[in-house]
Structure 1
Amino acid sequence: MIVYFAGWGDGFDATATRNAWNAGALTVVSWEPHGTKLARIADGASDRYIRAYAQAVRKLNIPIAISFADEMNGDWEQWGASEAAPRDYVRAWRHIHRVFADAGATNVIWTWAPNIIQPGTHKDLSRYYPGDKYVDWVGLVGYFTDWDPHSFTGLFGATLTEIDRFSRKPRLLLETAAMPGRHRTEDVRALFAGITASPGIVGFSWFDHKARADWRLATSPEGTAEFRRMAANALYGFDVRKVR
């Protein structure tokens, strides 16, 4: 699985998506609506752009996952809880879904992805959920940090329990990683152990970038070695046609 970030107004990267698929990887687009309002999207202001994007996805005709405006329950994004009402988020999501359906772009795995429940996020995630009719996978965004629990249940448990109240769709850890330092090996072990024990989780994506912290695996040789060992022992393989 390969995750890439796309800004609002960016075209669909069909070439990279095809190359990834031919190499055995599913592309996940994290589509970020910078520079616009969710209410305007819901009211049709971006329909020409969305329609062209959908037509490009349909033309490619291979499975692709799209996560629109993730981390919407936090207060740090332009489309987040401090900037947009949950009803506008739901309206925008459903509107985009309908435009894609009208264009015949049925090869999309729609992946809804809140941030994990923590200080600064809304705890009632059901207010942001577009509904099972509009969602194929439920993604989560959550990182192991020095101030968070160093266990899978401690980090993700409350959010998974909250989501269980309103959806049983397959789960995907859309973004995760662990801070470098003395806990990284422990966190990597916790991540793999938690996913292995959770049959409803179809996979995860490690955020291998330097941002507010240096999440790259290469910054911690011990953590990288543990990641390789755990990955070699794991059996991750799924048919996307069977988990929709």
Structure 2
Amino acid sequence: MNTVPEALSAESPVTGLLRFGISTPGGALAAAERDVTADAVGVPPEAVLWFTDFAAAAPVAEIGALTAAGVTPIVTWEPWRALGAGRYDRAAFPLAAIAAGAHDDHVRGWARALAPYRVGLRFAHEFNGDWYPWSGAPEVYVAAWRRLHALFAAEEAAVWWIWAPNAPFERVPLEWYPGDGYVDVLGVDGYNWGTSQPWSRWVEPDELFGPALAALGGLGKPILVTEVGCAEAGGDKPAWITALVALLAADPAVTGFVWFDHDKETDWRLTSSPESARALRGALR
């Protein structure tokens, strides 16, 4: 099993606290997008997470550019085919086919391409929800994960594997867990939608993440909040950001968080208001 890279296993030299990562709409090479947020919050991101579909070629250029800049790359590898304009072929890569070896050559290509780098690989995230096509049978999910892990190990690819359920939850969904030998970092995603949607309400960080962090802590692995965002509508977003950082900093298992800096379903960005950006600046400092 690979160990967690120094970039996520030690205290941040930038903030002296948690590692701060970011995801922006333009992906790994969108340095200008990251700079806007970094300037606003006064802290450069130490990790960048982006999304790529299973059919894509290994993102070597992106990983290389981030690595050269001293930024930790985290790839979210989604088992579907991107069609453009936010559309996907949800049936293109069923987990059963991946588990059966139907795409081994493609996976080996990824493994060989990534072998020279230290990169986080987050495969088929938020499986415990109902919004992705890979949220079907846990035993098939585990089999697909283990097959990918074996193929990467055979190519001596030094990726670190991130298993990332969606919060909130009070019990670790162990039926989906590939096993300690197949996971390096425990991820967790969570969003405060506030009142931005007809069905949503304001949720404080301890309600959103507290039970999940406590449950994941029992597995004894480093924890990275792999996606987090907060709406403006329904409450005090700057206070929410301050409370989030305090919650995560108090948990010795948590190494950092990746802010979902997108204006998508609602304006999740840290720059959605000057006060929100200042709140993160103050919390991290």
Normalised to the residue count of structure 1, the TM-score between the two structures is 0.86
Q: Within 1, Cα distance between the matches of 2:171 and 2:264?
A: 26
Structure 2 residues not aligned, in runs of 5+: 1-46, 81-91, 195-200
Task: Give the alignment partner of residue 123 of structure 2, picking from 68, 79, 94.
Answer: 68
Question: Helix, strand or coil: the match of 1:177?
Answer: strand
Paired residue for 1:237? Answer: none
Q: Within 2, Cα distance between the matches of 1:211 and 1:221?
A: 19
Amino acid at match of 2:165: P
Mean Cα deviation higher: 156-165 or 196-205 = 156-165
Kindly state the Cα deviation for residue 220 of structure 1 after the two structures are TM-superposed. Answer: 1.5
Amino acid at match of 2:51: F
Tell me if 1:117 matches 2:168.
Answer: yes
Q: Within 1, Cα distance between the matches of 2:70 and 2:283?
A: 20
Kindly state the Cα deviation for residue 159 of structure 1 after the two structures are TM-superposed. Answer: 1.4
Paired residue for 1:240? Answer: none
Tell me if 1:213 matches 2:266.
Answer: yes
Q: Within 2, Cα distance between the matches of 1:64 and 1:109?
A: 6
Equivalent pair of 2:126/2:165 in contact (CA under 8 Å): yes
Equivalent pair of 1:110/1:137 in contact (CA under 8 Å): yes
Paired residue for 1:52? Answer: 109
Name the count of aligned residue pairs. 221
Q: Provide, for residues 192-216 of structure 1, a one-character-per-residue CA deviation record: whole Å limited to 9, x for no partner.
A: 1012111211111000012211111
Equivalent pair of 1:144/1:187 in contact (CA under 8 Å): no
Q: Within 1, Cα distance between the matches of 2:203 and 2:232?
A: 15
Amino acid at match of 1:64: V
Kindly state the Cα deviation for residue 183 of structure 1 after the two structures are TM-superposed. Answer: 1.8
Task: Give the alignment partner of residue 143 of structure 1, picking from 191, 209, 214.
Answer: 191
Paired residue for 1:93? Answer: 145
Paired residue for 1:24? Answer: 70
Q: Within 1, Cα distance between the matches of 2:137 and 2:216?
A: 19
Q: Within 1, Cα distance between the matches of 2:220 and 2:59?
A: 31
Mean Cα deviation higher: 184-193 or 65-74 = 184-193
Paired residue for 1:38? Answer: 95
Q: Provide, for residues 148-170 of structure 1, a one-character-per-residue CA deviation record: whole Å limited to 9, x for no partner.
A: 421x32111221233244x1110
Question: Helix, strand or coil: the match of 2:167?
Answer: coil
Pick closer, same or farther for the CA change 1:160–1:129 going to 2, 3 Å: same
Amino acid at match of 2:245: F
Paired residue for 1:12? Answer: 58
Normalised to the residue count of structure 2, the TM-score between the two structures is 0.74
CA RMSD of the aligned region, Å?
A: 1.5
Amino acid at match of 2:58: F
Identity of aligned residues (%): 36
- Runs of 4+ in structure 1 deviating by more than 3 angstroms, as ranges, are none
Paired residue for 1:126? Answer: 174
Kindly state the Cα deviation for residue 124 of structure 1 after the two structures are TM-superposed. Answer: 5.1
Q: Within 1, Cα distance between the matches of 2:50 and 2:213?
A: 24
Pick closer, same or farther for the CA change 1:45–1:148 going to 2, 3 Å: farther
Equivalent pair of 1:125/1:162 in contact (CA under 8 Å): no
Tell me if 1:179 matches 2:225.
Answer: no
Question: Helix, strand or coil: the match of 1:142?
Answer: strand
Kindly state the Cα deviation for residue 123 of structure 1 after the two structures are TM-superposed. Answer: 5.1
Question: Helix, strand or coil: the match of 2:192?
Answer: coil
Q: Within 2, Cα distance between the matches of 1:195 and 1:134?
A: 25
Structure 1 residues not aligned, in runs of 5+: 234-244
Q: Within 1, Cα distance between the matches of 2:229 and 2:147?
A: 32
Q: Within 2, Cα distance between the matches of 1:161 and 1:148?
A: 21
Amino acid at match of 2:272: T
